[in-house]
A and B are shown apart, each in its own frame.
Chain A
């Protein structure tokens, strides 16, 4: 089984190898899709295996998969697949139109594979030092994607992204060191004292002040990668400047990987420090993020930045759910993670079609998508409703669960405040996207058909249609398998 996990994490590297070997967008794209399919297949297999055996731990904890990691591995693998489909279409168009040189296309697929593989690897290790190394490496791989277009603005975004994220992750390293220090005196070897399951087992024996500092520093540190306010400042720039399939990966996979790291620290802190401290920290960062996200939703005009601020908001909601805690809160957090990942991947992929068609990122210059690009317009409308949490989509269900958890564990005012912010977000977000979709198309603006060949049209349509269909299904009915999977992942946290 260990081999299978290692294979799962290495699979996306096939794309990297092909790109190094000189493959062009078409071959590399299909290879990325194949690797994505393989990753999803293997992660589903892993889920079934975990349901029977609960935990996989080998190589002295360097490979460690439990219900929580299996759930996140599945989520990230799905996003990688959706984004690979989008990449195959998007990059082919960019290559044909000559906007990206063949070296840039090869660089894209090279780093794309590396980025996906590093994220999957960070989700399947139990060693917190290794986790730091892998997350730091994934920053570098994705920064290359952000700066790919090599224009002044994308280089600026890449610079901001690397320097803020590495600063954050370095702070998380300090947190990890304090966690290591808090375990001084435990009968464990040095390596095991940094391995999650052992730390978790001894969580109540860890030294208090050091553990407190460790938790706070890791939330600030990995929170930078998650995009929790006020450490979110790199996020809108990186998301808006990156090629759209990469934005989907950043928003739907990378942020979740950071959240996964926080959850690992949170599980230890919850036992070592008691729930109150953890609750205060998570709720503060969560509400700050939702508030900041919503405020910028009101003012932003660039639609990719709009989606990015919506990610800040949703990561805040997940942090709030973790803060409310309890079975219900954790369930809501997991369900919301999956729903948001799919919804945001669909939104960014459609934004890629719009960018290709209109050559602009400003919402006010795009009108009447339903007439000009009917499929993109329809999906964008449905995805807008779903990401804003209206029924019958999955996010409605998960937000409802989180609010219920709030009323159960967080008093009356906190969930009401969250509800109010969600309403503001609804209005602000829809105010920008609805005119893009419904308005009268401007005759002066020349809309290009984003995808000429039928093959590209299918590749571009597949992920967005499949994604929105999945969200619809998740809103109407939670499959029994998913339900067990979420319970399994909560169970791993004790």
Chain B
């Protein structure tokens, strides 16, 4: 069980604002903090991690007091048992993938967990590379593995997938779900991506201007997300005029498709541009993947 109440005066460009929030979650939950940027989501994670000191309140994680304003308790980040995934991955550039993981291992502990995580996150081929020679998705996989080396009960994710492309996001989401189940974690995600929230979390806390506005299931928050059509983003690869219409070649999640549209519609389009693609399910065929 994790319980916290946090009060903090935050300074934004538009002026000061007070964050005052109380949340209680069960062990093993995967929850999302959802809200506009500037609502205070990241500040909540930073206060949970001990990187930011609240003005008042308390944090209790599985019976242990991490912070209590009235008792003057404030555990440093070093003393809190948690994993934290940063938006910019925060891998140590001077260390290889393996060294990054080894650095996280407390002295004198067996390194079996390193091999296990390298296997689980499919990092075997990458383990001797430096972070600057990895793609964004690979870096975030390493960061995730590193955050789990100490087997923390609590995992905090600060928009960890926002810098990745769609395909990578989907893959990382799978990894996140897998490790969440495998290690029995309690996970708190900061996100404003409906698809991500629907796929990963079981409860959403809607935060607005530093206040908890609503607690609900992801399905209740995004009812429109279950529809008869599928929309995704594609990139225009080429445009050809053909029999009075325009033939557009699109790249959608690594696949190339072509489609004809009216000349008028494609007037402002250019190669390399991203376009919104909508498919309706009237002719959808679903079969078991091999």
A and B part of one assembly: no
Interface residues of B, Cβ cutoff 8 Å to A: none
